Chains A and B, each alone.
Chain A
Amino acid sequence: MSQSDEGDTVDLAEGIDHQVAMVMDLNKCIGCQTCTIACKTNWTEGGGREYMYWNNVETKPGPGYPKDWEDMGGGWNESGEERTPGELPDEEEYGTPWDFNHEEIMYEGSDEPLRPMSDAASWGPNWEEDEGAGEYPNSYYFYLPRICNHCTHPSCVEACPRSALYKREEDGIVLVDQDRCRGYRYCVEGCPYKKVYYNAMKKTSEKCIFCYPRIEGEGPDGEVRPPSCAADCPPQLRLVGYLDDEEGPIHKLVNEYEVAVRLHPEYRTEPNVYYIPPFAPPQHSERGESLDAERIPRNYLEELFGPKVNEALNTIERERNKVERGEESEVMEMLTTEDTADQYRLEVFDDAEE
């Protein structure tokens, strides 16, 4: 629990000094997957991690990655005290990382086309890209980037019989102890977001580590860097910092303006990744006129982000109207990338603790 001068509190897990957090602005996500690639080249290129996407971006509505993860259970029941049973995704639901026949075609005279060498290329991490739902011209879709939520009430941690998952005291990052883990995969079942992956080569489970070596400044240059997914994002849609940094934009967007909301709050793991919900151009009539009708159904957004999404969208609209009239808006300013160097408040607590 963190106490501010005014006596407001920011809910952190008990025993956690500070909590890393991210706000992702879905109105800036263009589905380019630069985050996905940045994460992959940093952490999951080989050694059994090839199929893993610690960071993925999926088109919504859609089954996502792994396929239909939202139907797989996990998380906590209504009381928040008992875990809800979860399923283990199978290989087809992730998709296998295809290998290709470049050499045969380019240098060995094969007349086959360049293709995944496995027969069963029937699913992958972005298989339903751009599909969404609805019918032309009133179809709708948007992109949802996802990493581990580093939850305040993580069901993966609770699920592990060996207590090999834990939440770091200093920043709330949830990790799988690679020495202690034996690959039972209860965490994979238990995570309702399916953000823990089993490494069949290592026989351990692995997951997004919030790039802790980067935020700790552990590279040869000693530089504190934000997680790769955020640093490399072209539209800079991710704010990274600490939820309990009350001067920071994350706290303001989440707790003060309440425009950043949790994905599937009903899973009750209390994620620390928050989303600015998407708006979209209005629907068209049969005669090609723009209508005063929202394109993305509110009930779908409520399904994803819970009832708080309504007030969040209303606030965003109000704030956009303000700037259109030429007035100031702190919310709009926080969502604008004025200076990437200042955007990441990752060293705010360093002085106090050293």
Chain B
Amino acid sequence: MSDQRETHDSTDDGLDLARRDFLKGIGATATVAGSASVLGDDLLGMDGLEVVDDPIGSYPYRDWEDLYREEWDWDSTARSTHSVNCTGSCSWEVFVRNGQVWRESQAGDYPQFDEDSPDPNPRGCQKGACYSDYVNADHRVLHPLRRTGERGEGMWERISWDEALTEIAEEVIDAVQDEEYDAISAFTPIPAMSPVSYCSGSRLTSLLGGVGHSFYDWYSDLPPGQPITWGTQTDNAESADWYHADYIIAWGSNINVTRIPDAKYFLEAAYNGTKRVGVFTDYSQTAIHCDEWIGPDPGSDTALALGMARTIVDAGLYDEAHLKEQTDMPLLVREDTGKFLRASEVPGVDVDVERADHVFVMADAEGELRVAPGSLGARDGQHDETASIELDFDPQLAVDRTVSTADGSVAVRSVWNRLREELSTYTPEFVTEETGVGRETHQEIAREFAEADRGKIIHGKGVNDWYHNDLGNRAIQLLVTLTGHIGRQGTGLDHYVGQEKIWTYEGWSKLNSPVPSRSVPTTLWTYYHCDVLDNADAETTRRVQEAIDNDWMPLYPSEREDGSRPDPRIMFIWRGNYFNQAKGNVAVEEQLWPKLDLVVDVNFRMDSSAMYSDIVLPSASHYEKYDLSMTDMHSYVHPFTPAVEPLGESKTDWQIFRELAAKIQELARERDDVVPVQDRQFDREIDLESVHEDFVRDWESDEEGRLADDREACEFILENSTETNPPDSDAQITFDDIDGTDEDNPERVRAVGDHWTSDLEEGEPYTPWKRYVQEKNPWPTFTGRQQYYIDHDWFLELDEELPTHKRAPTLQDRAEYPLNYNTPHGRWSIHSTWRDNEKMLRLQRGEPVVHLNPDDMDARDIEDGDTVRIYNDLGSVEVQAKQYPSGEPGTARMYFAWERFQFPGRGNFNSLVPLYMKPTQLVQYPEDTGEHLYFRPNYWGPTGVNSDVRVEVEPVDESDGSGGGGDE
């Protein structure tokens, strides 16, 4: 087959070229055969091209192959990862050529610890695979910059580090001297992605008396149902545990897009006998790889979950023993007040504790009233490992009776009976009507889930961005509780949104705030300082004000003695893009931003927050520093190590804030007016004259100057955490052990501290809740049990004492704005990082797009590729329309986090999203003491709301210019 019989009329160009260029590198021994040669003897004779007899298998002229071999070459490699707000925590081998970062590839260096699961390697995604673009990008910030134009205009002057730090330090000193230290805000998200960089700025902020911002609640990543029901922020199995499930429901968690490094466990579970069901409003990128997909109407997931719960209860498929021991289902509730019946109210119930009014009551099989073990009043604080919920009697689930109390006879019902009454609403007909999911289908899935040996729900942002997210969370959580799919390998409800937890919590925490420090729920802070209270409905305003007045939620700057409250004054932003990602983007720009005298952004790239800052400080890229990386998707701790020196004048985050501390100290000592300031909240003085010394001191060992550089700060974290330095053990992990040199690779953490809910078991993926389910410690809730009934006054007033389905509040008129507006996390960026990356944009459409169902496009005369305007009463943005037949009709879907400068007129995907929050998420519970729910940053606080937003879309007449009425 080697003879080349076909002839072509070569182009003139081609022949000319062929004549001109004599082939180089052809072996002299090659024969000139080729009577049947393509080009004929003429040409070959003329240019001396030697004929190849058989290009299949015996091609003689292969020296040229070195061309590509020479391209596969580098000078050195380093081990790093990426400090982005992503749960990936991936490992990368960074190649350096001629002193520059050339490219990166999967390091694949995680040790396998679970032989029953697929290989954990590799973990990186396409974005990580081109982070090197940012190292050398046009948009890299290389020098300290001071704004010369308006905020956002992109006009800068280059200034020296000394000028920049001096200007910032003067402002900081003034604020502290004015006793407005709590008007200094510091926003940086997610310590797990790079705890040292996180701590750099917040350590300084703590020392200055400034305010650290929450992020997990603000980004609407926190599932409020978890602190409500399980008394814990969130705790999740690492993704390797998915493989141990027999039945997985991916509920609003678009794993194949947002959990690319972990998707393997979900995909390969299919080859291990696991059934995978996807619950998504669209036929999503994860739905396509499920065994069954159901598509509830947007905002109706709670009704679906409660319908499934009803099926499970009606079919008798619930785990009765689990409900009796582990949940509040047997607890008795007074019919008159809706409050739990307390042991203190029932004479004759034997309870020997101080706080009998915090002790709950159940009825045993004989109808005797018994104290519920584990109640808050019978244990020592929220966490008490000496207490137990193990039962020595058999409580009744279904109770409907009267009891004699000190106030006389009172009707009571068990939570179980109340729940059954609530569930009775969710008939198959109602569920189908409300959700669009077939009556047979949702019941079948409910039964299959209940009957599986190990069932798991992977729960995502798709069901968490709603106003009533707490109700949705509680309803979906109910499914794993009813079935007892919790607290064992391969079970549970894993909510993977943001990295809320850091394995080395203790070390991080000590590095972060060596002194008592302020935190604020960012949703409330933003809401308040954007003056939304002036415009909200009366009830919301009343409740928000009450929560602030009751000190249920802190707000800074704090109210002064004369009743005034200063505006925020200085804001530091690093490792995040607050300005771009803020819901209520219009209000943030128009109301909040003018209040800030100084906005400082520390960044390696010019993002929207940097663009709208006054001073931008150039930080080292992820390949130019030391740090640590962790995630709750896996149990390894692993390093950033520098592949190259920081480019231009950039410095590591640690160095930048340390040098700022030094500048503050230097100027404070120079100025005559600087004296230590007594903190109005904490028993400490804010002493600017020692702030640098305090920054670099190891407060644990009192060693002066120890924490001068980032690698030493890494070591501090590892040294001071149970996970990497377990007490009474010589199993310490040091930075040297994991720094990527020689065979020093990532290591699995050694143990877990008490901010986790299970122990770490050798050879098994981490799976939460075992301390409660298996060891029978009380759950850290009011009742000591998984608590589905919340008898807080506000919950009772709003009929939310049990999970219930409520329709979304109407923020925009449905008739005027007929489309749901949804801004999910897409595959092309981690929030705004990579949104502006050329390589990524070339694999999209180069500009923001909105995904529309073709029917909605037809109805509006929109074609694929058209420019459209999306608008509501808050704002309007122009983007390209993309048809998405798998999107449900009635939804405009814009994968989020496009930067402001990617829109004409600098709108933003968040310009259409209001600032809104649900007052029940501002409460303290119990109302008086708050052990169960109390403000703790990223743990309990109001979440932002993204999804209850409506818009309309219309084509933009592009011949019409800017809409100014051109007529041609």
Contact = CB atoms under 8 A, between A and B. Distances in A.
Contacts of B132: 41
A196 B125 CA distance: 26
Interface in B1-40: 1, 4, 6-8, 10-11, 14, 17-18, 21, 23-26, 38-39
Interface in A110-133: 110-116, 121-122, 124-127, 129-133
Given A16-B57, A232-B124, A218 B69 contact: yes
A232 B105 contact: yes
B149 interface: yes
Interface size class, chain A: 35 or more
A154 to B, nearest CB: 8
Contacts of A40: 130, 839
B119 interface: yes
B794 interface: no
A190 B904 CA distance: 44
A323 interface: yes
Given A126-B844, A167-B59, A141 B264 contact: no
A69 B886 CA distance: 24
A125 B842 contact: yes
A124 to B, nearest CB: 6
Interface string A78-111: 0000010000000000010111101101111111
B901 A114 contact: yes
Given A31-B285, A41-B129, A137 B847 contact: no
Nearest to B296: A288
A166 B885 contact: no
A32 interface: yes
A163 B55 contact: yes
Interface residues of B, number: 130
A107 B154 CA distance: 5
A30 B51 contact: no
Interface stretch (A181-189, A249-257, A301-309): A181-189
B23 A179 contact: yes
A62 B845 CA distance: 16
B438 A285 contact: yes
A161 B129 contact: no
Interface in A159-179: 159-163, 165-169, 175, 177-179
A122 B118 contact: no
Nearest to A121: B846
B72 A106 contact: no
B56 to A, nearest CB: 5
A6 B903 CA distance: 65
Interface string B259-283: 0110110011011110100100011
Interface in B860-909: 865, 882-889, 899, 901-904, 906
Interface string B533-546: 00000000000000
Contacts of A163: 4, 38, 51-52, 55
A165 B56 CA distance: 9
A98 B218 CA distance: 35
Nearest to B888: A136
A153 interface: yes
Contact of B8 (A99, A161, A166): A161
A323 B65 CA distance: 46
A284 B73 CA distance: 52
A354 interface: no
Contacts of B827: 31-32
Given A178-B64, A183-B17, A235-B264, A37 B129 contact: yes
A105 B901 contact: yes
Contacts of A48: none
Contacts of A16: 56-57
Interface stretch (B163-171, B286-294, B340-348): B286-294
B336 interface: no
B844 A115 contact: no
A122 B275 CA distance: 40
A219 B49 contact: no
B7 A37 contact: no
Contacts of A153: 1
B611 interface: yes
A244 B278 CA distance: 39
Contacts of A345: none
B684 interface: no
B847 A116 contact: yes
A36 interface: yes
A42 interface: yes
A1 B21 CA distance: 38
Interface in B44-79: 49, 51-52, 54-59, 61-62, 64-65, 67-69, 71-75
Contact of A37 (B126, B154, B886): B126
Contacts of B51: 163
Given A40-B839, A108-B154, A159 B52 contact: no
A315 interface: no
A108 B71 CA distance: 36
A149 interface: no
B61 A179 contact: yes
B438 A30 contact: no
B25 A179 contact: yes
A113 B38 contact: no
B437 A288 contact: yes
A290 interface: yes
Interface string A187-209: 00000000000000001000001
A337 interface: yes
A42 B106 CA distance: 13
A184 B8 contact: yes
B868 to A, nearest CB: 15
B302 interface: no
B936 interface: no
Contacts of A36: 126, 843
A28 B267 CA distance: 6
Contact of B72 (A218, A288, A335): A218
B292 A290 contact: yes
Contacts of B292: 281-282, 290
A305 to B, nearest CB: 17
Nearest to A115: B847
B368 interface: no
A272 interface: no
Contacts of A42: 71-72, 103
Contacts of A106: 138-139, 154, 606, 611, 901
Contacts of B122: 231-234, 236, 340
Contacts of A167: 55-57, 59
A136 B61 contact: no
A323 B885 contact: no
Contact of A180 (B23, B121, B285): B23
Contacts of B838: 98-100
B146 interface: no
Contacts of B844: 124, 126, 129
B156 interface: yes
B27 to A, nearest CB: 11
B678 interface: no
A137 B267 CA distance: 22
B762 interface: no
Nearest to B290: A281
Given A30-B267, A213-B68, 14 more contacts: A13-B57, A16-B56, A30-B289, A41-B103, A41-B129, A97-B842, A113-B847, A113-B902, A169-B58, A180-B61, A209-B68, A213-B71, A232-B129, A332-B272
6 contacts: A32-B256, A124-B842, A159-B6, A167-B57, A232-B105, A288-B441
Interface of A: 13-16, 27-28, 30-34, 36-38, 40-43, 83, 95, 97-100, 102-103, 105-116, 121-122, 124-127, 129-137, 139-142, 153-154, 157-163, 165-169, 175, 177-180, 182-184, 186, 203, 209, 211-214, 216, 218-220, 228, 231-236, 278, 280-282, 284-285, 287-290, 320, 323-326, 329, 332-333, 335-340
Q: 10 smallest A-B Cβ distances: which pairs? A: A15-B57, A289-B438, A166-B59, A166-B55, A213-B72, A163-B52, A288-B438, A161-B38, A30-B256, A41-B103
